[in-house]
Amino acid sequence: MRWLCLLALLVLAACQAQLPAFSLAPQSEPPVLPAEAAPPAPTPWRPVQPTPLGEPVSFPDCQPDPVEPYRFDPARVAPVALPQDSGPTLRRLAEQNGLMIGTSTAPSVFQNPNYTTITARESNIVAVENAMKWEVIHPQANRYDFKDGDATVDYALANGMQVYAHVLVWDLQQPEWLLKGQHTRDEWIGILCRHIKTVVGHYKGHIYAWDVVNEPFQNSGELRDTHWLRVIGPEYIAMAFYWARQADPEALLVLNEHFAEGLNEKSDAVYSLAQGLLRRGVPLDAVGLQMHVWLYGPPTAADLEANMRRLMDLGLYVHITEMDVRTQLSHDPLSKELAEQAEVYRQTVSACRRVPACTVFITWGLTDSYNWISSYTGVEDYPVLFDRDFQPKPAYFAVLEALK
Ligand code: G3I
């Protein structure tokens, strides 16, 4: 009965306010994924009732640019041949725990069978490292390039893995045409709206979650002075989620941040922003904690768990979206560094398992060979679960133990 009243209120508010009443409930049937490519998504931990709406949200709207939708074609990409051993893997243990576990990936390494086989053996989800970033997927104002994004989705679906799509709004890896553009605020709103609706619409029904807005804050908790803040203002954040939800009613929509994993000014800012968005009925489903940490000074497990719990209490999922643990700057023997690194991974996965809302654990890279840190810092580093010879490290076994 209560829901009927709520629904009536929603409809009434929509009529009165002549605004698009914002329904948080999915409007369409669950995505039709090829049977072999749809591992069981975790059962929703949170109560199903929609977040109570504040004032109905109203945002400018737009039509997506005309592009062909992505279609999964099993003939286009063969699944990797997985060894038939029945031993424990991260994927098997994660699925027994209702967790999504995986790594970021990129077509540039798909030719390496070690890479594609181990990723598919150990993951039930892959994150798209660079292929869906604006400079790659929308390189000119009137041209989209879905090649690498489609290849990544092909690889995931062919191997029964879900896709964590990354990233709709960020202020790095943006193309020249965007950064040099001279437009009115309304024109910028149209540009952002069309990008989001076109890209999300292209992959509609095939994406587990979208990083909608990435790294909006400074460490102080102030909004970072990014291109979109300058040309649109803080509303760019709520607008981005609104348009993403319209383009794909089923994908989980994520606010993703780094250095906001523990309890600090930045995670307080993420919490407050999330609370405000939910109060306005903006469709936010999860907060992504990137977990790019160092051996020294990772967030304590207690702070990480407390932060996860307060986000869960808002009704949000919490995802570990990009974990890696840098060993550089340490002068200890590598064996000691790797043991300490394993402990950081173990504590993180254990904290995630203690919080029902924590349903995703993704490392940023499968092996130490293909990792952004060494190229970004110019210093050798060993941040993830497999070494340069694709052998599991102490960190891998620590995650395996934490999942048991
Ligand atoms: O594609 C060009 C290539 O054509 C060119 O030859 C080459 C050399 O200049 O650069 C290539 O682009 C590089 C791109 O990765 C693809 O490999 C960029 O220079 C390089 O800056 C870019 O780095 C990415 C970085 O984001 C950009 O800030 C990393 O691979 C990627 O792992 C990293 O990921 C970010 C997440 O998106 C957001 N969270 C933080 C995380 C780590 O920075």
- Return the pLDDT at 57: 60
Q: How far apart are the first and last CA of the chain?
A: 42
Contact 86, 117 (CB under 8 A): no
The minimum-distance atom of ligand 1 relative to the CA of 133 is: 37
Q: How many other C-beta atoms are found inside a 10 Å radius of the C-beta of residue 280?
A: 18
Alpha helix ranges (H) inside 107-184: 113-122, 134-137, 147-158, 176-179
Above 50 in pLDDT, residue 5? no
Residue 361 CA to residue 342 CA, distance in Å, equals 15
Contact 149, 137 (CB under 8 A): yes
- Distance from residue 175's CA to the centre of ligand 1 (Å): 13
- Distance from residue 129's CA to the centre of ligand 1 (Å): 8
Going by the DSSP 8-state scheme, the letter that residue 95 receives in this structure is H
pLDDT tens, position by position, 285-327: 999 999 999 998 789 999 999 999 999 999 999 999 999 999 9
Both tokens assigned to 186: 């309304």
User: Which residues participate in catalysis according to the annotation?
Assistant: 215, 322
- Return the pLDDT at 83: 76
Looking at the whole model, is its pTM more than 0.85?
A: yes
- Return the pLDDT at 34: 44
Q: Is the CB–ligand 1 distance for residue 322 below 6 Å?
A: yes
- Return the pLDDT at 9: 43
Residue-averaged pLDDT of the chain:
87
Helix/strand/coil percent split, the chain, to 5: 40, 15, 45
- Return the pLDDT at 371: 85
- Nearest-CA residue for ligand 1 atom 37 is 129
The average pLDDT across 220-245 equals 94
Above 80 in pLDDT, residue 156? yes
- Return the pLDDT at 49: 39
Which band of pLDDT confidence, cut at 50, 70 and 90, is reported for residue 348? very high
Residue 332 CA to residue 330 CA, distance in Å, equals 6
Closest by Cα among 160, 154, 126, 168 to 362: 126
Half-sphere exposure at residue 52, Cβ-oriented, CA atoms within 13 angstroms: 4
Q: Is the CB–ligand 1 distance for residue 285 below 6 Å?
A: no
Q: Is the CB–ligand 1 distance for residue 374 below 6 Å?
A: no
- Counting residues of the chain whose pLDDT is more than 70, the rounded percentage is 86
- Return the pLDDT at 31: 41
Q: Is the CB–ligand 1 distance for residue 340 below 6 Å?
A: no
- Return the pLDDT at 4: 47
Above 50 in pLDDT, residue 40? no
- Return the pLDDT at 280: 85
